[in-house]
Structure 1
Amino acid sequence: METRKNVWRFLPLIPASGEIQMAIDAWLLQQCQAGKHPPTLRFYTWQPAAISLGYHQKRFPETWRELTENGTLDLVRRPTGGRAVLHEGDLTYAVILSGMTGKRIAVYEKICEFLITGWKRLGIPLFYGQQGRGYREIANCFQTATGADLVSSTGEKLIGSAQLRRGETVLQHGSMQLNPNPELFQKVFNQSPTSPQLNLSHGEIMATLKAAAEDCFHIKLITQPLMGREWEAIKALTFENHSQN
């Protein structure tokens, strides 16, 4: 894999459990920070459906454990911050890159540029949220929109993002709520979803956002699936996380 600054890796869509998805993102961050891997863009879905908790999110309803115990959902902790996200009917993006300096919100805005550009090409203009620090008391990520999140012109939150920085290396991933299941959303958060129902295919969204990323970051994306030795390293990281819990 080339590591020239203007060449990024693009991972084809990966459907997998939340545990595996988080291990992939964590591994990519480690490899990028060590200079062993180029910047990467990827998209993925969660199978089975899952609730992901922010790294520092300590409190959540006991009913969520019951949903995991009866097989309805997985419960996974992200390496990034933020509040809980229900991953069902969504598409997740992840960007991993080095050489990012400056304040956290400035880095968000730099990375989110390709999301705003891509969704505008899909006919949906997006804007940054305005919520302040009070969001920490809210369990549901999509109940509020901070300056790191993107909302529609009518204020509906479409994309919730979270970030982890290791020096100048950044992992930013986020959930794009496309077709949330109202019944499951009600069961988890005791409220109806506020994000719009979008009649767009994953393929159309990914192709548009991929092109937007190339334009906004002035890069070339080279498609390359994860190889066998890479999967082995990711599975080892998953096992290591299990051993620590």
Structure 2
Amino acid sequence: MMMSCDRNSVPAKISDSIFPISSIPLIATWRLIPLLETSGNMQMAIDKWLLAQHLAGKHPPSLRFYTWMPAAISLGFHQNKYPDSWNNLYWQGQKVDLVKRPTGGRAVLHQGDLTYMVVTNTLSKNRMQAYRDICEFLIVGWKQLGIDLDYGMAGRGYIHNPNCFGTATSADLVTNEGHKLIGSAQLRKGNVILQHGSMRLRSDLELFSQVFGEGFYSTDVFKNLNFQTLIDVLVTAAQSCFDVEFEVKTLSQDEWDMIIATMF
């Protein structure tokens, strides 16, 4: 079961002088996959493969971070209606991909954002509690960077807005000013959960406006933040919040072959 972590501090290590080593429970090991940039369809194939492997008992829980190249709009699994103009968008000379996510939610523009993904089975059966169990590491990590986040709230009007960042549900994280920073979506199979989400950091304003017809909130903190620095902070927070150790392991060639095979 996931522990509740302190948003204001990272717990100190347990002293052997207080608790003998034999009495300290073993800490679970999760896989941490290093930052990866590739196409949206490939990223979704990786996420789905990790879910299937964990569901089959062949792979430990995983945390990873990634970016999308080329830029893409990801659609929620049940989102079938969207503007025709999205089929002919270009950014920096490349066509903007349209990608279907295995998770729910609304459309997300992936350009200048950082995506996180968690696959695990050590969560509450309650959907909203599971969201909160996972999102806690994001709240703790961003607080270390001076940004306070909390859960959003939206009415039923959310389902009529094609833009995920146009509203903030109780599964999303917003700043003190009410601006949505992180939008998350989830898929549960059996007792295993896949949750991934987008941290909108430095999206191109012109492209974002072209896609959604509106602007977005940003600060110099987001624009100047190095992705790897952010990842390092969030990984440290995840270790505390999930009470786990991470084994850093890139995808092997055999794993790539299996993932690619699922796409055809």
Give the TM-score normalised by structure 2.
0.87
Deviation readout 1:1-39 (Å, 9 max, x if unpaired):
xxx871000000010000000000000000001110000
Report the CA distance between 1:57 and its aligned residue.
Answer: 0.2
Report the CA distance between 1:102 and its aligned residue.
Answer: 2.1
Decide which of 207, 225, 228 is 2:250's aligned counterpart: 225
**Residue 139 of structure 1 pairs with residue 162 of structure 2:** yes
The answer (yes or no) to whether the contact 1:92–1:176 under 8 Å persists in 2 is yes
The answer (yes or no) to whether the contact 1:101–1:168 under 8 Å persists in 2 is no
Residue of structure 2 equivalent to 1:152: 175
Report the CA distance between 1:180 and its aligned residue.
Answer: 1.1
Cα RMSD (Å) of the superposition?
Answer: 1.5
The answer (yes or no) to whether the contact 1:11–1:42 under 8 Å persists in 2 is yes
The answer (yes or no) to whether the contact 2:123–2:133 under 8 Å persists in 1 is no
Task: Give the percent of matched residue pairs that are identical in Structure 1 and Structure 2.
Answer: 54
Decide which of 16, 27, 30 is 2:49's aligned counterpart: 27
The answer (yes or no) to whether the contact 2:139–2:149 under 8 Å persists in 1 is yes
- Give the AA of the match of 2:158: Y
- Give the AA of the match of 2:44: M
**Residue 208 of structure 1 pairs with residue 238 of structure 2:** no
**Stretches of structure 2 lacking an aligned partner (at least 5 in a row):** 1-25
Report the CA distance between 1:193 and its aligned residue.
Answer: 1.7
Residue 238 of structure 1 aligns to a residue in which SS?
coil
Residue of structure 2 equivalent to 1:188: 211
**Residue 15 of structure 1 pairs with residue 37 of structure 2:** yes
Decide which of 26, 41, 56 is 2:63's aligned counterpart: 41
- Give the AA of the match of 2:38: A
Report the CA distance between 1:99 and its aligned residue.
Answer: 3.4
**Stretches (4+) displaced over 6 A:** none
**Residue 74 of structure 1 pairs with residue 94 of structure 2:** no
- Give the AA of the match of 2:149: L
Q: Distance in 2 between matches of 1:174 and 1:167?
A: 21
Larger Rg: 1 or 2?
Answer: 2
More helix by share: 1
Residue 234 of structure 1 aligns to a residue in which SS?
helix
Decide which of 226, 236, 240 is 2:261's aligned counterpart: 236
- Give the AA of the match of 1:126: L
Deviation readout 1:68-107 (Å, 9 max, x if unpaired):
6x84300000000000000001000000001323211000
Report the CA distance between 1:54 and its aligned residue.
Answer: 0.2
- Give the AA of the match of 1:34: A
Residue 220 of structure 1 aligns to a residue in which SS?
strand
Q: Distance in 1 between matches of 2:110 and 2:86?
A: 13
The answer (yes or no) to whether the contact 1:55–1:78 under 8 Å persists in 2 is yes
Residue 230 of structure 1 aligns to a residue in which SS?
helix
Q: Distance in 2 between matches of 1:152 and 1:171?
A: 24
Q: Distance in 1 between matches of 2:160 and 2:256?
A: 37
Give the TM-score normalised by structure 1.
0.93
**Stretches of structure 1 lacking an aligned partner (at least 5 in a row):** 240-245
- Give the AA of the match of 1:87: H
How many residues matched? 236
The answer (yes or no) to whether the contact 1:128–1:146 under 8 Å persists in 2 is yes
